[in-house]
Structure 1
Amino acid sequence: MVVGGGPGGYEAALVARRLGAQVTVVERHGLGGSAVLTDVVPSKTLIATAEWMTIADRAPELGIRLDRLAAGLGPEDDAAGPAGGTGSAVRDALHHRIDLDAVNTRVKALAAAQSADIRARLEREGVDVVAGTGRLLDPEHVAVRTPEGREHTLDADVVLVSTGATPRVLPEARPDGERILTWTQMYNLTSLPERLIVVGSGVTGAEFAGAYTSLGADVVLVSSRDRVLPGEDQDAAELIERVFTQRGMTVMSRSRASAARRTADGVVVTLEDGREVEGSHVLLAVGAVPTTRDLGLEDAGVRLTPSGHVAVDKVSRTNVRGVYAAGDCTGVLPLASVAATQGRIAMSHALGDAVRPLSLRGISANIFTAPEIATVGEPEGRLRERGVQYQVSMLPLARNPRAKMLGVRDGFVKIFAHAGTGTVLGAVVVGPRASESIFPLTLAVTHRLTADQIADASTVYPSMSGTIGEVARMMHHRIED
């Protein structure tokens, strides 16, 4: 029995089925879970659209001009006044604009299509899919309540809990789905917010704030910390904050929000120091809480952490024999890739297949801002805290010939290597498609390659990845010294 059909759940189901088990997945919202329906897939689809807007902004410097005839304009329009009337029409016709209703319609359609693909795959593999809410009665029985309110009990030899997490909200800022929103509700907007206040400067807050700035909204990012993305590499975070402000975003550092209320035509966010910020909409991006209540976990004897997460070991076992857990409900690392890995490991272990315990060493992560921030291995701050002797090598992308061709100015590649052995300990890539560029460095960290081994590999010229090879070559004499 798999309770929850997100990445951890459906990947576990596929492994269990291939190993010969009879598998039932219980999911109440739709296969793929929040990752597919309200989180990863929708947000990255929105961000992909915003990225095109960012690229379009660079068009003039690349020599691209909009055909005035295609815009329905003639020489007589040049004489139009600077304010209002035909003058505004000219500027509007020559400037790309966003149709947020169309964007969000596409976002939701793609999410639904991905969910349907997952269902079709599971059913093709012989997995039983049940719509409803699962609750453990004990380690071997799961009660399922259907959307119609009927309840029945299913037997299980193994249970995997993969119920994810839900957006955290503030006591004095209750979402209404119209003006005060969580990130799951952003896709119901039909027009671009005039002034969007984003509360929270972590990954979710930064991604949405950056996307809506690129889409053309006036954005205020309220951060309780000294800088945007406080948990990320300092060089990367400082670069992103600089890019944000250059694009017109207002970043309010050391400003903790305490409440949000609706007004006649917008919202007011109150800060702890008494200041108020007015806007048309507010997005609450203040973290997530595990979806572990009312699942019968305590009744089944499953231990929860003080934060409400399911406590698991490195093969996804709980303290109760036969009960496993995977994904955001465990609090191990809030990434869909980690959830999927946990689910696969859980079923391999439960069904007696060969299994390697979860290691976070080679897990790469990406923040889908523009530019993207991709990381793998040990962060520099943690290396410093642990007293590890390491060397750093770093180059800006602006020197890369391919970047110059594409009009890319912001970004860098940074590699950390052990001072004695040259083994790659971690890396940061900031730039377009950093999520793709990080892969060779992920291989290096996972397989404990040295900087010299990276440097010895050939790269295409010109290419963004050429900077990775160059950064590795720069480390050679430093490590020997």
Structure 2
Amino acid sequence: MTAYDYDLFVIGAGSGGVRAARLTALGGKRVGIAEEHRVGGTCVIRGCVPKKFMVMASDFTHQFETAEGYGWSVEASFDWAKFMESKDVEIARLSGIYAANLGKAGVDLIHGRAVLKDAHTVEILGKDQTITAERILIATGGRPWLPEDLPGIEHAITSEEAFHLPELPKRILIAGGGYIAVEFAGIFAGLGVETTLIYRGPNILRGFDDDVRAHLAGEIEKRGIKVILGCQHTSIEKTETGLLNRLESGHDIETDVVMFATGRVPHVRSLGLETAGVELNDNGAIKVDTLSKTTADNIWAIGDVTDRMNLTPVAIREAVAFHETVYRDNPQHFDYEAVATAVFSQPPVGIVGLSEGEARRTCSKGIDVYVTRFRPMKYAFTGSDERMLMKLVVDQDTQRVVGVHIVGPEAPEMIQLAAIAVKAGLTKAQWDATCAVHPTMAEELVTLKEKQTASSGAV
């Protein structure tokens, strides 16, 4: 029997890789993990955690405006440098906790880029170090995608650089219509930056329910974001006063910063996958089966690098399933049905289950749709015309609630609990039988009575 340095070696110390490494080490196996950047991965270091801090910082502008309606007089200013320092200190603390937990579990942490040399061997670049392992787990996540053939693209930043801007710009243009683009548009607009969002498609948040897309597009414009749809860049030119965005429409927009949030791709470049027999699928992601096994017998992959469902909690659950399958003789795979997600736009979005369009294609005997739009009670004194959207999609045959869509304050918190009901397969009658908590926004979810016969369309 071949003697290996480790029973398991993990490439990538993000949320998924760390969870798999810790569980396996706590089970008595020899485990090593390599990380080329900082421990914690995209979510902790350059993703959802620092982004949420930025969302919360920027939302105070809206809170101050609301407070005036309740009799408060507020004078406030924002210190970008102070905020960034506090954010960086907290991110460093969280990264340190991840690293410490690996050590406590007995995992050897190696700082460096690991590259596959063959099916059982990795090399740590720049350290003249070669490591062998019985099994290898790839959890390298994803990276922002940029249109490299766009003239002037070298002047643009991505979300990763946005977390480290030395100063707050006065003007920014954000290219993209997905959740990252929409979230950062809200962040910068909330901090007083003149913000333009440009997207080549007909509406933002492709893949979301059409009512959600239309509602949010209208609401973010109320927050001062200029939204340009059906248009994209032809070039970016650096001038003495900023960056000139030349657009297909023929219009030019000058800004201080141009940020591209046009998607992310699996981080597979120069990993040596071909030398180990690991194949990619048509989307450039690592090809895996339902148990996260690659085309190489002893190599697995989890998280965004597999491009299945690119969410941090999903990567963690895939890590648990990998450990149960490989080291506890308990084959498991993650169930991707009815996974809740949130967009931390302003106002935020929470969804779980099927959109109306998906449900119409899936539910053979038709669907019932319940929609309400209302002004949250919090804005009664402010004169704000901000509206909240709540939508339930019900399978006519089984009467199961198969989709819940919320746009408005606290939507992410509400959708987490709504997801339990959707995942459990509860019927509309069971939702109706749940007594409301009054006065709350969430009570609307259990008091929706009037169904509509067709999509309500744009608002």
Structure 1 and Structure 2 fold alike (TM over 0.5): yes
1:89-108 aligned within 5 A: 94=75, 96-108=76-88
Which residue does 2:58 correspond to in 1? 50
Q: 1:133: how far off?
A: 0.9
Residue 216 of structure 1 pairs with residue 192 of structure 2: yes
- 1:18–1:451: structure 2 CA closer, same or farther, 3 Å change rule? farther
- Greater Cα offset, 450-459 or 376-385: 450-459
Residue 24 of structure 1 pairs with residue 32 of structure 2: yes
CA distance in 2, matches of 1:20, 1:215: 49
8 A contact 1:195–1:280 mirrored in 2 = yes
1:264-413 aligned within 5 A: 264-386=240-362, 388=364, 389-398=366-375, 409-413=386-390
Which residue does 1:436 correspond to in 2? 413
Aligned to 1:120, which of 73, 92, 100?
Answer: 100
CA distance in 1, matches of 2:117, 2:399: 53
Q: 1:274: how far off?
A: 4.2
8 A contact 2:351–2:406 mirrored in 1 = yes
Which residue does 1:85 correspond to in 2? none
CA distance in 1, matches of 2:379, 2:371: 16
Q: 1:108: how far off?
A: 2.0
| SS class of match (2:163) | helix
Letter in 1 for 2:51: S
Aligned to 2:11, which of 3, 24, 31?
Answer: 3
- Greater Cα offset, 388-397 or 2-11: 388-397
1:117-266 aligned within 5 A: 117-145=97-125, 149-171=126-148, 172=150, 180-266=156-242
List per-residue Cα deviations over 1:357-395 (Å, max 9, x = no partner).
222112111100111111111122212233542111122
| SS class of match (1:283) | strand
8 A contact 2:201–2:230 mirrored in 1 = yes
| SS class of match (1:298) | helix
8 A contact 2:436–2:447 mirrored in 1 = no
- 1:173–1:124: structure 2 CA closer, same or farther, 3 Å change rule? farther
Task: Give the gaps of 5 or more residues in structure 1.
Answer: 67-93, 476-481
CA distance in 2, matches of 1:449, 1:408: 34
Letter in 1 for 2:435: S
| SS class of match (1:299) | helix
8 A contact 1:397–1:412 mirrored in 2 = yes
- 1:48–1:339: structure 2 CA closer, same or farther, 3 Å change rule? same
- 1:106–1:408: structure 2 CA closer, same or farther, 3 Å change rule? farther
Task: Give the gaps of 5 or more residues in structure 2.
Answer: 1-8, 452-459
8 A contact 2:170–2:194 mirrored in 1 = yes
Which residue does 1:450 correspond to in 2? 427
CA distance in 2, matches of 1:22, 1:465: 48
Count of aligned pairs: 441
Letter in 1 for 2:104: R
Q: 1:405: how far off?
A: 8.3
| SS class of match (1:158) | strand
List per-residue Cα deviations over 1:87-111 (Å, max 9, x = no partner).
xxxxxxx4x3322222222222222
8 A contact 1:402–1:464 mirrored in 2 = no
- Greater Cα offset, 104-113 or 322-331: 104-113
Q: 1:273: how far off?
A: 4.6
8 A contact 1:362–1:445 mirrored in 2 = yes
CA distance in 2, matches of 1:49, 1:238: 26
- 1:341–1:391: structure 2 CA closer, same or farther, 3 Å change rule? same
8 A contact 1:361–1:445 mirrored in 2 = no
Q: 1:425: how far off?
A: 0.9
Q: 1:403: how far off?
A: 7.1
Which residue does 2:6 correspond to in 1? none
- 1:254–1:418: structure 2 CA closer, same or farther, 3 Å change rule? same
Letter in 1 for 2:25: R
CA distance in 2, matches of 1:141, 1:408: 60
Which residue does 1:59 correspond to in 2? 67
8 A contact 1:167–1:183 mirrored in 2 = yes
Letter in 2 for 1:317: K
Q: 1:474: how far off?
A: 5.4
CA distance in 2, matches of 1:322, 1:99: 51
- Greater Cα offset, 356-365 or 24-33: 356-365
Q: 1:270: how far off?
A: 2.0
List per-residue Cα deviations over 1:198-245 (Å, max 9, x = no partner).
111211111101111111110111110112223222222222211222
Which residue does 1:71 correspond to in 2? none
**Sequence identity (%):** 27
- 1:121–1:397: structure 2 CA closer, same or farther, 3 Å change rule? farther
Q: 1:276: how far off?
A: 2.3
CA distance in 1, matches of 2:335, 2:356: 19
8 A contact 2:69–2:381 mirrored in 1 = no
The alignment yields a C-alpha RMSD, in angstroms, of 2.2
CA distance in 1, matches of 2:333, 2:77: 49
8 A contact 1:262–1:268 mirrored in 2 = yes
CA distance in 1, matches of 2:279, 2:65: 52
8 A contact 2:363–2:395 mirrored in 1 = no
Q: 1:174: how far off?
A: 5.8
